[in-house]
């Protein structure tokens, strides 16, 4: 992997991490286009640069979190299902799911169809929850259960948490922001676990590549978060669902047909 590869993948990560289109899936497909083999380092790289995107959220929402202990508790409760499932299935995900383009494409396509169907039938109630500090703990835990579905590459952590939150009675902007916050412990834990297990095998030039990808992901993610918050005020996620299906069909034709 070269520095140019790291820049491109960092940009892809920054754009896709908080949109309901699967950053992991797009990183894997981008690596295929660039001809980057799915080595253990590349798999770790694709996990590690997500920290750059998460740093953007930390800087944007850090002050809010520092002032609202109740919100922090709810984020932690929502994080628990993914923490347990991710820890138990780490080896399965790393060895059999990451790097499997067929799984990614099926997840993108099926997720796109479900996202469109959901948006066509979902009607937000006037009583939808808007205050993040008042989320019932059982609702927070339920959102976390939805998020855990995203251990399957291509599902999209953002899509799973946002749709889950909407189903559980949250207002669209509120669950989108909660999804941003939930990404902090989720991706920090995933990256920390992976680096702890594999950092000793990285060479010095690979660390340089990691840093470049991290910085690119951070800068682009900052803009992506701001874009999504504006977008959801006047749009549904149907467009993202259509996009997922088109990408899945296109890549299936190019690589797996």
Tens-digit pLDDT profile for residues 182-227: 999 988 887 777 777 766 666 767 788 989 999 999 999 999 999 9
Q: Encoding tokens for residue 232?
A: 């959801």
Please state which of the ranges 3-7, 59-63, 86-90, 179-183 shows the lowest mean pLDDT.
Answer: 86-90
Range of the domain at 66: 3-256
d(CA 106, CA 168): 26
CB 248 within 8 A of CB 105: yes
Q: Is 245 exposed, middle or buried (CB count within 10 Å of its CB: 0-12, 13-18, 19+)?
A: middle
Question: Which pair of structure tokens corresponds to residue 75?
Answer: 């984020």
As a residue count, the chain comes to 257
- Domain count for the chain: 1
Chain centre distance of CA 231: 18
Bridge partners of residue 170, in order along the sequence: 129
Question: Are the C-beta atoms of residues 119 and 238 closer than 8 Å to each other?
Answer: yes
> Given a cut of 90, is residue 140 above it in pLDDT?
yes
Rounded to 5°, angle at Cα 94 from 90 and 96: 115
45 in Cβ contact with 9 (< 8 Å): yes
- Please measure the distance between the N-terminal and C-terminal CA atoms of the chain and give it in whole angstroms: 27
Long-range contacts of 161-169 (CB under 8 A, 24+ apart): 162/20, 162/237, 163/20, 163/114, 163/115, 163/118, 165/139, 166/118, 166/122, 166/124, 167/122, 168/139, 168/142, 168/143, 169/125, 169/127, 169/128, 169/129, 169/139
Share of residues in the chain with pLDDT > 70 (%): 96
- pLDDT confidence bin for 3, thresholds 50/70/90: very high
């Amino acid at each position: 992997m070269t520095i140019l590869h790291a820049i491109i993948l960092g940009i892809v990560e920054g754009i896709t991490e908080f949109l309901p289109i699967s950053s992991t899936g797009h990183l894997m497909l981008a690596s295929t286009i660039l001809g980057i083999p799915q080595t253990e380092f590349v798999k770790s790289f694709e996990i590690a640069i997500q920290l750059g995107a998460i740093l953007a959220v930390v800087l944007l929402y850090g002050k809010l979190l520092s002032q609202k202990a109740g919100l922090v508790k709810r984020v932690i409760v929502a994080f628990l299902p993914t923490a347990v499932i991710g820890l138990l299935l780490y080896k399965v995900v790393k060895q059999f799911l990451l790097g499997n383009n067929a799984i990614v494409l099926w997840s993108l396509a099926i997720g796109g169809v479900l996202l469109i169907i959901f948006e066509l039938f979902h009607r937000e109630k006037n009583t939808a929850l808007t205050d993040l500090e008042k989320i019932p703990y059982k609702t927070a835990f339920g959102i976390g259960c939805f998020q855990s579905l995203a251990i399957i590459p291509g599902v999209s952590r953002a899509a799973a948490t946002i749709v889950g939150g909407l189903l559980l009675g949250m207002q669209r902007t509120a669950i989108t922001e909660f999804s941003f916050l939930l990404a902090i412990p989720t991706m920090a834990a995933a990256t920390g676990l992976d680096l702890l297990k594999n950092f000793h095998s990285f060479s010095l030039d690979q660390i340089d590549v990691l840093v470049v990808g991290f910085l690119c992901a951070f800068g682009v993610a900052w803009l992506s978060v701001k874009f999504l918050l504006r977008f959801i005020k006047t749009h549904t996620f149907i467009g993202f669902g259509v996009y997922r299906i088109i990408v899945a069909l296109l890549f299936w034709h190019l690589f797996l047909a």
